[in-house]
Amino acid sequence: MRHTFSSRLILLSVALCALTPAVQFVAAGQAAAAQTTDRFAIPATDDGLPGVGPIRRYDWFQKLWHDRRAAWAAARAKDTGAVVFLGDSITQLWEEGLPAAFPGVKIANRGISGDTTRGLRYRLKGDVIDVKPKAVAMLIGTNDLDQGAEPEVVAENLKAIVSELHAAFPTMPKGVLRIGWHCKRASNTSGVIRPPATFALLRSC
């Protein structure tokens, strides 16, 4: 039986309609897979993440977090055995000054501007432990406090980070650097934060 041109068009339209949901399903699956396999991206929610307290998800921060972590992974062989400086903007912005401050020392800067102690806990293995550092110096916590976290939250995450580092490298030198006074923004009415209270909680580390 021969099909007329019109009937062929109808059959083609039916076939395309039948295929469209399958194509959309495959495309959605591929997009979801790409999202979940990006190991440098910040997880969309806090569900299942280690630690307590805030993790930032501003657009600028997500891009910075992703780009710096991806670059570090690409340079892992070069950074193996370095002294790692771990932290937030205070550490990141010292990037060019670190070699001058510590001449002759192999250094890996692992600071991400805006990061929190919970963010450090999440990225500790890939960014720090996997480079088998010679030593780790950590300065972090101001962004937690800025986001309203209590000193106990900062201390809990810092203790966990130190414990993980000690478990991986029992004899490696590790230092938690003291942060100075930090005033909350004028829009925040809850007063002044005193980070020394956080570090008083770390004496048991």
- Is residue 117 situated within a structural domain? yes
Average pLDDT per consecutive 10 residues, the chain (205 residues; last block may be shorter): 54 51 45 61 94 96 97 96 95 90 93 97 97 95 92 94 96 80 42 43 41
Pick from 126, 138, 135, 139: which is nearest to 82 by CA? 135
Confidence at residue 195, expressed as pLDDT on a 0 to 100 scale: 44
Per DSSP, 184 falls in state: P
In a domain, 88, yes or no: yes
pLDDT at 96: 87
Count: domains in the chain:
1
What is the span of the domain harbouring residue 158? 59-200
Spell out the residues 6+ positions from residue 155 whose beta carbon is closer than 8 angstroms to its own: 198, 199, 201, 202
Among residues 168, 157, 171, 143, the alpha carbon closest in space to that of 205 is found at 157
Query: How far apart, in Å, do the first and last CA atoms of the chain sit?
Result: 85
Query: Is 32 part of a structural domain of the chain?
Result: no
Is there a domain that residue 116 lies in?
yes
In a domain, 20, yes or no: no
CATH number at residue 139: 3.40.50.1110
Per-residue model confidence (pLDDT) at position 29: 44
Residue 11 lies in a domain: no
pTM of structure: 0.73
Residue 33 domain-assigned (yes or no): no
Residue 78 is assigned to a structural domain of this protein: yes
